[in-house]
Amino acid sequence: MLIVGIIVFVLGGIMVYAGQRQKGLQQEMQKGSVIPISQAQAGTLVELYGTVVAQQVLKTSFTGQDCVYYEYELEREVESRDAQGHVTHRWERVSGDRQSAPFVLQDNSGSIAIQPEGADFDPTNLGEQFVQANSIPGFLQSFSVQISGFRTRAKEKAILANAQAYVMGTVVQAGDGLMVAKAQGKMLVSYKTEAEVERSTKRKALTMNILGIILGVGGIVLTVIGLTNK
């Protein structure tokens, strides 16, 4: 009980920390608003909204869509049976990856280079699809044995090329031009509008903090019980 209490308490602390990060992101967004790209100045934290123009086109792993960021998870359905013969099913992660590439953000006033390395991403959910072991992309063929004979699904998310995106980051000098990067503070690339990002970030922060507090209190209680029963 003591060890369980400590683990639960630590998990609560991690959740509160994550919630505070989300709250910090929300506070950064509240300090300013989206500006035209032409008004971006070196050394400032900016919020921009425009069209994603791919410089290095990436392809989503399963749907093959043009993007500048993607992430995926490949899962297999595993069946288990208890002592009474009851059958349950669960999804087990087989593999996953994410990748991003520099791109340009463009609005009616101009364009600016975006270096997304180290950024947080809030990508569009492209849904999930069931796949066969013999139809997965070549770079995943090493996993074909692990999913052969199982029901398998792929889940994808992406920041799509030629779509609208919100970018918050620091403007830095890059040669003769400007670039948005994670030079200081936070950087976020999202498919949502500024208002949508603020609302979702606020919800995440509140949920994480509440859950963290509950876990923290539960961890303390379990730890005390464990110490008392020693």
Split the chain (230 residues) into runs of 10 and give each run's mean pLDDT: 69 73 64 85 92 94 92 86 79 89 96 94 90 58 54 90 94 91 86 77 72 76 67
Q: How far is CA 71 from the centre of its chain?
A: 8
Query: 11: exposed, middle or buried (C-beta count within 10 Å: 0-12, 13-18, 19+)?
Result: middle
Provide the pLDDT for residue 148: 55
Provide the pLDDT for residue 145: 46
Residue 54 · residue 103 · CB < 8 Å: yes
| pTM score | 0.73
Helices (H) and strands (E) counted in the chain, each on its own, are 3, 12
- DSSP character at residue 61: T
Q: How far apart are CA 120 and CA 189, in angstroms?
A: 6
Name every residue whose Cβ is closer than 8 Å to that of residue 87 and which is 6 or more positions away in sequence: 79, 80, 81
Provide the pLDDT for residue 215: 76
Provide the pLDDT for residue 34: 87
> How would CATH label the architecture of 2-228?
Beta Barrel (2.40)
Q: How far apart are CA 133 and CA 147, in angstroms?
A: 6
Tell me the CB-side half-sphere exposure of residue 22, using CA atoms within 13 A.
Answer: 22
Provide the pLDDT for residue 59: 93
